[in-house]
Amino acid sequence: MCGIAGFLGGAGWGEGGANADTLRRMTDALERRGPDDAGHWLDARSRVALGHRRLAIVDLSPAGHQPMPSASGRWTIVFNGEIYNHGELRDRLLAQGAAPCWRGHSDTETLLACFDAWGVRATVERAVGMFAFAAWDAASATLTLARDRLGEKPLYYGWQGWHDGRVFLFGSDLAALRRHPRFENAIDRDALTQLMRYNYIPAPHSIYQGIAKLPAGRLLTIGLMDGIARETVYWSGIDSYRHGIAQPFEGTPEQGVDALEAVLSKAVGRQMMADVPLGAFLSGGVDSSTVVALMQAQSSQPVRTFSIGFHEAQYNEAQHAKAVAAHLGTDHTELYVSAAETQAVIPQLPVLFSEPFSDSSQIPTFLVSRLARRHVTVSLSGDAGDELFCGYNRYSMTARLWGRLRARPLSWRRMAARLLTSVPPHAWNRMAAMMAPLLPPSLQFANVGDKLHKGAGILDSGSIDDLYLGLTSHWPDPGVIVVRGREPGPSMKELSARMNGFDDMQRMMALDMLLYLPDDILVKVDRAAMGVSLETRVPFLDHEVVEFAMSLPGSMKLRGGVTKWALRQVLYRHVPAALIERPKMGFGIPVGLWLRGPLRDWAAALLDESRLRREGYFDPEPISRRWREHQSGQRNWQYALWSVLMFQAWLEHQQHQQYRQHQHAAP
């Protein structure tokens, strides 16, 4: 795991070390991603600069240093990630008589040799791994950027500046791009609307105008002469899913479980490759427990496992993780953290997430990463099991709910929604309190008004796509609160329209794989772990596992009301079901309560109406209204408010950084 940065074009190539200093500043911003080594390569004639920060995982010797040239001298690369089958690729090169005289055993050197033998696209199509890289081809004077199939590793890029000073920037993190003197720092209000809806900014957009994220499964090639960026797709999630639907697994359920265990065991074994200490996150749920069980089955030593515990019972899974660890015989470490320790992470979030991001599980993810890094350098995780094997309750809930809703005319449902919202939440709460003594406990609910108003938004759905979008949106109409902001495409509904032949649950899982997984889950894990220089690996995202999961019939994922059925059967071959079977618990924290208590003053300052009006990004009125309703307890607006707060905290941090830079530059 590493960090990469660089640029193409721009001015200053004849001015001594100006660009060398710029490149060094850019890579210095990535020190947490790569604390072990730094490297810089510049070619003034071609006006290209490549920079690297290294977290040494495989081949710890100087032979793994980057930027790295190919044996032929044609290619120079900066690479972030791991190629898990690079030994197999070396064997293939040897069989073809195309292997060079190897200098070391790094996967970076393997990639370069494959480029020489097969070219870039053929190489990434044969590679199994997570990666983002930039490779300079001296023969064609072109720069190629690449990102892995599922988007595990980040890569930002874009043109900045004007005329002769126009420069193409790229990097693993926006913090590196901001160090270039031509970076324009203009916030994209349209991308901000996406943050308000989803709590993340989907690729290809970023928070800055002119800066994009390279989508997963893409190559981008650019030459300095014409400046045209040519993007190609080498792996498509939608096409792969469509192939899996057209050619489904046809064996018995038992054979399906056997095949899943085989492909997943292979992926886990590949990802245990490291020359440094390695472990795994363990929550005690299905996904992480399966990964750890398959690791332990292939290890001669107890696997190191890590979990975070909370003193609030409704958020704590540590005791379940401990029980699974004891059964498997892992070397388990747990740490219970207090509310104060958890809240102490919040000021660090704008640094850890250099683009605003508002999934509040970012906080416990950072805490467990920090715990693991005290003992290991690499940690495997169970992320993506829900998206691949129908694990989220919202999939079956949405399908059932839509089945009932569509039986009623839309006009009738909209009328019912207007009636429900015509009564304020506090009035519904009063009526519910009056009726409570007459109702059995099973029909007594807290905050009835909030639930009825949220339910009214569901009634207004014109399709299952509308319904799913509404259920996954924090601000259902973010253009209302972002001043001069409009949602850019492609939207969730536009992506769904491309999924002909998908049933409702397949479409929801595919949408999450294309949006929520790469731009929320994987961003959260990558940034939180890289904040403590920990490499994370996700065995479920080995593309062979992904493609097999896509081919499994729905009946092997959701069976008799049991989610992730096939995956559970794999796990139960290693761990008793009694240790796993319990209601699903998210990796959450009580943000809603904290905003009414210890975080109230911090949040109130960031949401101050005069401040919002002065900064000019938000319409203060709807935000202030939700803040008042949340404080009163009438409504629970924790997710909507957290999205605004995370942008505000990020903006404040950026303003302070710019002020310090200006003070430093002043004579």
Tokens for 176, please give them.
């590196």
Give every strand in the sheet of 304-310, ordered side by side.
331-337, 304-310, 278-281, 378-380, 535-537
In Å, how far are 418, 461, 493, 568 from 465, measured between CA atoms? Answer: 21, 8, 6, 29
DSSP secondary structure string for all residues of 332-343: EEEEEE-HHHHH
Q: What angle do CA 628, 634, 639 make, to 5 degrees?
A: 70
Helices (H), strands (E): how many in the chain? 29, 17
CA atoms within 13 A on the CB side of 132: 23
Report the catalytic residues.
Answer: 2
Q: Which of helix, strand or coil describes residue 637?
A: coil
Cβ neighbors of 465 (< 8 A, separation 6 or more) are: 492, 493, 496, 507
Tokens for 93, please give them.
């090169």
Q: Which residues of 432-458 are buried (b: 16+ CB within 10 A; e: fewer)?
A: beeeeeeeeeeeeeebbbbbbbeebbb
Which residues, in sequence order, are bridge partners of residue 158? 169
Q: Are 508 and 499 in contact (CB under 8 A)?
A: no
Q: Which of helix, strand or coil describes residue 365?
A: helix
Q: Which helix (H) or strand (E) holds 89?
A: helix 86-95
In 3D space, the residue among 278, 317, 316 whose CA is nearest the CA of residue 299 turns out to be 278
Please provide the size of the chain in residues. 667
Q: Which helix (H) or strand (E) holds 258?
A: helix 253-271
